[in-house]
Structure 1
Amino acid sequence: MLIKQRDTKGFTLVEVLVVVVILAILAAIAVPIYLKYVQSARAGEAQEAIGSIMSAAKVYHAETGTWPTDLRQLKNLKLDPLVQDRWRFTINGGGSTGIQNITATSTAQMPGGAGYPVTYTASTGKWSGYGTD
């Protein structure tokens, strides 16, 4: 008696499930790493702008002998309009005491939401806040 062999094509359910589990594990590892990278890139945008603000503040100090207390005092400051839409900048300190820190806080136009601060502390030269870890 002859036994007829079936011509099977395709994957079994077990093989498909193994692939799905492997993809889920890879996604669980990759997604947090990707999100951290995105935060870091967004914080980099704020850090670059804060660096420009500090440079303009130093020029202002050299010209006037005092430190700016508000961005409107920095006439030579040129920030990208997109950056200005995504971030609100505040100078803490200024006047005769010097700048303590400059903070950028994300706005609603920022992909990822509003209210995320990035702070540069002038006395230590250190960054803190969103995406700077």
Structure 2
Amino acid sequence: MHGNTHPQASARKDISCRGEEGFTLVELLVVLAIIGLIAAIATPQVLRYLGSARVDTTRAQIKNFQSALELYYIDTGHYPSGEQGLAALQTAPPTEAKWNGPYLKQSGAFADAWGTAYQYKSPGDKKPFEITSFGRDGKPGGEGQDADLFSD
């Protein structure tokens, strides 16, 4: 071999383009239609799953509040008043000498999975306290994900 010429390098230069390689518009439209069909089938299932997950999250939060309220009761001998609300689980009310909290680690507003504030009532109608979430619609009543969720 003399010189710096390689047979492969010169062969690459001699190859001419025989045609454009790629996808046609029809092929792209078919792929987009298939993706659209899959999304149309899967989206309702995913949204239903997310909705039930929010209901489950809200129920779990209400149970956490109930546990924290029981600890508050053990320390003080009473539940926070309706005026004090759930905030008494994080910050000692000014008149509460036996407060031994905070009883919850979360900070900020007490909102359900849909961003609506929980309703706290003490004394409750049938129990010492009641915690309510109005569900997805944020209004009393409703069915499914719009149904109200209550403390036990």
Higher relative contact order (CA 8 A, sep 6+): 1
Aligned length: 110
Matches within 5 A, 1:90-101: 90-92=119-121, 94=123, 97-98=126-127, 101=130
TM-score, structure 1 length as denominator? 0.53
**Aligned CA-pair RMSD:** 3.8
Matches within 5 A, 1:1-133: 7=19, 9-60=21-72, 64=77, 70=82, 71-72=85-86, 74=89, 76=101, 77-78=103-104, 80-82=106-108, 84=110, 86-92=115-121, 94=123, 97-98=126-127, 101-105=130-134, 115=138, 119-122=149-152
Q: Which runs of 5+ in 1 are unaligned?
A: 1-5, 107-112, 123-133
Identify, as 1 or 2, the structure richer in strand. Answer: 1
Q: Which runs of 5+ in 2 are unaligned?
A: 1-17, 93-100, 140-145
Paired with 1:28 and 1:8, the residues of 2 have a C-alpha distance of 34
Identity of aligned residues (%): 28
Paired with 2:61 and 2:116, the residues of 1 have a C-alpha distance of 9
TM-score, structure 2 length as denominator? 0.49
Contact kept, 8 Å, 1:67 with 1:98, in 2: the verdict is no
Structure showing greater radius of gyration is: 2
* CA deviation vs aligned residue, 1:36-63 (integer Å, no higher than 9, x gap): 3433444444333211211133345556
